[in-house]
Amino acid sequence: MLYVYVILTFLVSFIITPFIIKLSKKLGIVDKPNERKVHSRDLPLLGGLAIFISFLIGVLAVSPDHVVHYSLLLGSLVIIVIGIIDDKYEIRASTKFIGQLVAAGIVIFFGDVQVGYINLPFGGVLDFGFLSIPITFLWIIGVTNAINLIDGLDGLSAGVSAIALIAIAGMAFIMNDIYVLTIAVLLVGSILGFLPYNFHPAKIFMGDTGALFLGFMIAVLSLLGFKNITFISFIVPILILGVPLSDTIFAIIRRIVNKKPFFAPDKAHLHHCLLKLGFSHRQTVILIYSISAMFAMFAFIFSMTTLWGSILLITIVLLLIELMIEKIGLIGEQYKPILRLIENIRYSITRNR
């Protein structure tokens, strides 16, 4: 029966997005082109509102029951308001951060969402104690901004979010977590209804309104689905969110290496690097979709394998990530330690023949 409500969110999102486009233009909430952006004309920015409204209608229709439910909706409303204000006035990063702290605090303190402990793979328990709340804040705000940071190409952030939510829904189904499954698939329906207007060439962007909202929801749902269990379960959401999290981490590393502020914008994110390599706009987006799907597949395999199989899989994933960032220059053009090592080994073998 849940599929009926997913279809409902899809249809509502698909139907109201053209009206949101008109509203966004009327209010002057548009994204203007500049040297960092790939579009060449003003585009409406309130697409996230269409996703939120359709999702809210789906939630009201289903009426799911969970201790975190109302705090989750209230927190998401705070995020939506902050996003709309930012899309209109481009508020300071510190102001957005305060809004995210408030939203995260609502679900942490009123919804009792916390990462309390992890059962370690070789026995014992890692109890976070007083660090539980700071770690939970860090996760929610980190994932929220990670989704926002990859929102650089038509349909990119929406598609990657949909893939992550499908993976979370799949895990929730396996774990019989009806609430997380319900919220995740309703969000997927809302995103898919919006995506035809957002895919290249986009008629509307979801803006910070949508990117922050989806990031916040993904962050909280992943905590609800995988908190307080095993080390393997702790790694699963990190794998599911492999693309946005790795892009964010390497952006931080890149800015440290180049001695730039953390919030300083640049054109060296994953999608920028792929465009520089000669991929078209659509090819870049589809390639990142594929990488996201691969991470989701790794997450499912990781959750079902043995401990040593998990360790082997993590080693392979980390090696693949390292090779990818070196190949495309995600940290910098000169950062290629493993590729240089492979080249030196190849040169030594060739010379000794």
Establish whether 208 is an annotated binding residue.
yes
- Cβ–Cβ < 8 Å for 154, 285: yes
∠21-144-88 over CA atoms, to 5°? 35
Report the SS3 class of residue 228: coil
Cα 341–chain centre separation? 33
Spatial distance between the Cα atoms of 284 and 156, rounded to a whole number of angstroms? 9
Structure-block tokens of residue 68: 């975190």
- Cβ–Cβ < 8 Å for 151, 51: no
- Cβ–Cβ < 8 Å for 223, 139: yes
Spatial distance between the Cα atoms of 348 and 150, rounded to a whole number of angstroms? 40
What is the torsional sign of CA 2, 3, 5, 6?
A: positive
Structure-block tokens of residue 94: 């510190």
Report the SS3 class of residue 126: strand
Binding residues for Mg(2+): 148, 208
Q: Which residues are annotated as a binding site?
A: 148, 208
